[in-house]
Amino acid sequence: MCECFCYRPDLYRVSGKFELLDRILPKLKKAGHRVLMFCQMTQCMTIIEDYFSWRGFSYLRLDGMTKAEDRGELLKKFNEVGSEYFIFLLSTRAGGLGLNLQSADTVIIFDSDWNPHQDLQAQDRAHRIGQRNEVRVLRLMTVNSVEERILAAARYKLNMDEKVIQAGMFDQKSTGSERQQFLQSILHQDGDDEEEENELPDDDLINEMIARSEDELELFKQIDIERKKTETQSRLIDESELPDWLVKEDDEVICNKGQGWNYLDDDETLGRGSRQRKEVDYSDSLTEKEWLKAIDEEFEDEEEDDDDDEVLDKKRKKGRKRRRQEESDEEEVPSSSSSKKKSKTEINMLKKRLKSIMKKVIDYTDE
């Protein structure tokens, strides 16, 4: 599967973000820049790794499954002088805190977090002590998707923080007029940002975003010209190239074995160890009376179980009492026998004394 799909141009042609990365990353590598790429989902990171392998980009990966002792080694490999690694692929939550990656000068946020401060923390990985280059931050977003809502919610949270807390300028030094001017400048910036974000970037606009100098801008334009000469297909897959099972209804799909995408027969399997899912009926087939009856039966069963438990508890208590009585009886038996022995010895001693007294009395009278 990997040989036929993961290592061919279709890997970036099926996704707008991958297509954009395919235009940006070769330019950054040619110009000698180094990249930090942050992603939310580890499964998506695995797909990005397939793209890096296909393009021949050397990279490192760090996510929540990376061991603590391995993290320091990865940072050392990426930050060392003359490092061969071009990209450091990190998950936003695991790689966004406590890492110093000042050797990179470009940050790409592949997908945004609901919490805007997570993305800000991720950006700060490149803004560390020792950074000597200009840092550019690129955020990828798909138009007309849920990502627009995520980014809008994150921007709203930051704006509220900026207008309510930051614009308050609670430093005991700012005047009311300074606070008002600062708040007005923030409101004007909001309108400008909305106009800029509605634009879809072309090659020229992308080159201006990522170029640090005029020489780099000319280099990037030359790379675009060479790329367009070698391209024979469109950058993105169009509807005519999609398989039937994606664009047609189930009834319209013609199953021809050996021709493109086919449905499997019921007897066929999807590889070794494939699971067979049970068909579950979620429809409400019980009437209200039947449902109440079923509930009552469950309660009755629970009460019977409770009664059985009480009977068992009583039997256990009785058994414990019997054991205690038997143990006490066993203890009492040797005590009674010992008392009988003691009484017999005392009687015998008393008899001996009486006999001796009687003998003395008789002897005394005879004299």
**At 30, is the pLDDT very low, low, confident or very high (cuts 50, 70, 90)?**
very high
- Which helix (H) or strand (E) segment holds residue 50: the answer is helix 42-55
**At 6, is the pLDDT very low, low, confident or very high (cuts 50, 70, 90)?**
low
Tell me, yes or no, whether 360 lies in a domain.
yes
DSSP secondary structure of 214-235: HHHHHHHHHHHHHHHHH--S-S
Do 325 and 223 share a structural domain? Answer: no
- How many domains are there within the chain? 2
214-244 pLDDT, tens digit per residue, is: 999 999 999 999 988 887 777 787 777 777 7
Query: Domain boundary residue among 241, 271, 299?
Result: 241
Do 209 and 337 share a structural domain? Answer: no
- CA angle, residues 111, 115, 119, in degrees to nearest 5: 50
- Which helix (H) or strand (E) segment holds residue 330: the answer is helix 288-366
29 and 87 Cβ atoms separated by less than 8 Å? no
Q: What does pLDDT average to over the chain?
A: 75
Q: Which residues contact 256 (CB under 8 A, 6 or more apart)?
A: 262
Q: Output phi, psi for 57, to 5 deg.
A: -85, 130
Do 138 and 64 share a structural domain? Answer: yes
**How far apart, in Å, are the Cα atoms of 254 and each of 77, 243, 257, 261, 269?**
53, 11, 9, 10, 19
Instruction: Write the CATH number for 48.
Output: 3.40.50.300
Tell me, yes or no, whether 171 lies in a domain.
no
Q: Output phi, psi for 64, to 5 deg.
A: -65, -20
**How far apart, in Å, are the Cα atoms of 217 and each of 28, 128, 237, 272?**
11, 26, 28, 52
132-147 pLDDT, tens digit per residue, is: 788 899 988 888 888 8
Which residues constitute the domain of residue 212? 2-143+200-241
88, β-bridge pairs: 36, 60
Tell me, yes or no, whether 58 lies in a domain.
yes
Tell me, yes or no, whether 207 lies in a domain.
yes
Q: Percent helix, strand, coil in the chain (nearest 5)?
A: 60, 5, 35
Decide which of 278 and 98 is more confident.
Answer: 98
Do 351 and 208 share a structural domain? Answer: no
Do 210 and 355 share a structural domain? Answer: no
3-state secondary structure of 196: helix
Q: What is the model's pLDDT at position 340? A: 57
Compute the distance between CA of residue 40 and CA of residue 19 in angstroms, rounded to an integer.
Answer: 19
176-229 pLDDT, tens digit per residue, is: 676 667 667 766 665 555 545 556 778 889 999 999 989 999 999 999 999 888
Tell me, yes or no, whether 124 lies in a domain.
yes
The pTM is what?
0.59
Q: Output phi, psi for 20, to 5 deg.
A: -65, -40
- Which helix (H) or strand (E) segment holds residue 60: the answer is strand 59-62
Do 356 and 210 share a structural domain? Answer: no
Do 303 and 221 share a structural domain? Answer: no
3-state secondary structure of 265: coil
Tokens (6 digits) for 80: 């060392």
Do 205 and 82 share a structural domain? Answer: yes
Tell me, yes or no, whether 311 lies in a domain.
yes
Give me the amino acid identity at 267. D
- Which helix (H) or strand (E) segment holds residue 137: the answer is strand 136-139
296-311 pLDDT, tens digit per residue, is: 777 666 666 666 666 6
Do 355 and 231 share a structural domain? Answer: no
Do 353 and 222 share a structural domain? Answer: no
81 and 34 Cβ atoms separated by less than 8 Å? no
Is the alpha carbon torsion for 24, 30, 33, 35 positive or negative?
positive
Tell me, yes or no, whether 180 lies in a domain.
no
Q: Residue 16: which of 202, 152, 147, 140 has the closest Cα?
A: 140
**At 24, is the pLDDT very low, low, confident or very high (cuts 50, 70, 90)?**
very high
Q: Output phi, psi for 59, to 5 deg.
A: -150, 165
Do 214 and 109 share a structural domain? Answer: yes
236 and 19 Cβ atoms separated by less than 8 Å? yes
Do 207 and 60 share a structural domain? Answer: yes
Is the alpha carbon torsion for 212, 209, 127, 28 positive or negative?
negative
Tell me, yes or no, whether 179 lies in a domain.
no
